[in-house]
Amino acid sequence: MSDYASVSSYLEDNYGLTDSILSLDTTNAKYGFTLREAIAQIDKLKLANNAAGYSKAANILAKTNWFKNYGVEITNRLSQEKTSPGNFKRFVDKNALTIKSQANALGFDLDPAEITAIARDAYIYGDAYSPETVVQKIVSAGKITGGQAVDAMDALKTHGANMGVTHNDKWYEAAARDIAENNSTVNDWKTKINDIAKSKYSWAADQIDAGQNVKQIASPYITSMSNILELPPDTINLTDPTINKALTSLDKENKQTLQPLWEFETSLRKDPRWAKTKNARDTLDAGARKILSDFGLVS
């Protein structure tokens, strides 16, 4: 009677073979026998749940390139876990300290149980468990709390704000995780933001490619708005409707363009907020004084 679940459990207990380990095998199927092929073959044979079935499964596993390279080390350490648990634990605990330190530097917080699980696998699978795999496990299991991950998120949020591009926190978190796994860099994600900005402000594409950000280009408009409407400059950003309108103006041919600064300043003096400013009162007072002066009523 076949019981693949029991055969699979036997392979896990005695050889450390689990579904999650299959990704560690980078063997090219064209040039060698892979773990996935071995599992498929074992499953297809529907081996019996007995010593003969276990032996047949082990013989198939032993033919894989991965097991030829790492099998002795793995089986020895699995045996140590059973026969010398104290020594085994010391090695795992040593790994755990390193992994915890690494997680903190990357900016990820893991539960002690998660750290121990990664440390155990890193010890059992030895050379087959690359540093990159450890990082992937940390990033996958951890919660972003600081370190390099938060630094990356902050850098991208700042760049996005300077480019007039906003994303939700999940986008920035996904970027930080990808960067932590060394799949990409902060600059790769900044380029993605730049591409969105060039689409949003098509007239500024060449300037963005030359290294300028949209906030730098819009600086005269922010300064004018701050001065004319008497607003603190740090309260004005690219998402402000007034600034955004100036940055997405249309010309006579209905093509996007940057609104001329003089036209922008004229529109600001038509803004209801301008009437409440000292600037407006002084301008109106000066106009009234000129009228009275023209009539010779004031000197």
The SS3 assignment for 143 reads: strand
The per-residue pLDDT for 279 is: 80
Are the C-beta atoms of 21 and 11 separated by less than 8 Å?
Answer: no
Q: What angle do CA 81, 95, 143 make, to 5 degrees?
A: 115
The per-residue pLDDT for 82 is: 93
The per-residue pLDDT for 284 is: 62
Q: What is the DSSP string of 12-48?
A: HHHH---GGGGGG----TTTS--HHHHHHHHHHHT-B
* Tokens linked to 156: 């991208």
The per-residue pLDDT for 296 is: 46
187-219 pLDDT, tens digit per residue, is: 999 999 999 999 999 999 999 999 999 999 999
Half-sphere exposure of residue 97: CA atoms within 13 angstroms, side-chain side? 5
CA-CA distances (angstroms) from residue 181 to 108, 148, 175, 185? 12, 11, 10, 10
Q: What is the pLDDT along the chain (299 residues), one digit of tens a residue?
A: 346 678 888 999 889 988 888 888 989 989 999 999 999 999 899 888 889 999 999 999 999 999 999 999 999 999 999 999 999 999 999 999 999 999 999 999 999 999 999 999 999 999 999 999 999 999 999 999 999 999 999 999 999 999 999 999 999 999 999 999 999 999 999 999 999 999 999 999 999 999 999 999 999 999 999 999 999 999 999 999 999 999 999 988 899 999 999 999 999 988 889 888 888 787 765 544 444 444 444 34
139: Cβ contacts below 8 Å, ≥ 6 apart: 106, 108, 177, 180, 181
Q: What is the DSSP string of 221-274?
A: HHHHHHHHHT--GGG--TTSHHHHHHHTEE-TTS-EEPPPHHHHHHHHTTSTTG
Q: How far is it, in rounded angstroms, from Cα 75 to Cα 128?
A: 13
| pTM confidence score | 0.80
Q: How far is it, in rounded angstroms, from Cα 218 to Cα 224?
A: 10
Q: How far is it, in rounded angstroms, from Cα 114 to Cα 141?
A: 7
The per-residue pLDDT for 5 is: 73
Q: What is the DSSP string of 154-179?
A: HHHHHHHHHHT----HHHHHHHHHHH
The per-residue pLDDT for 286 is: 54
Domains of the chain by residue range:
4-71, 85-144, 147-216, 218-289
Choose among 104, 185, 201: nearest CA to 152: 185
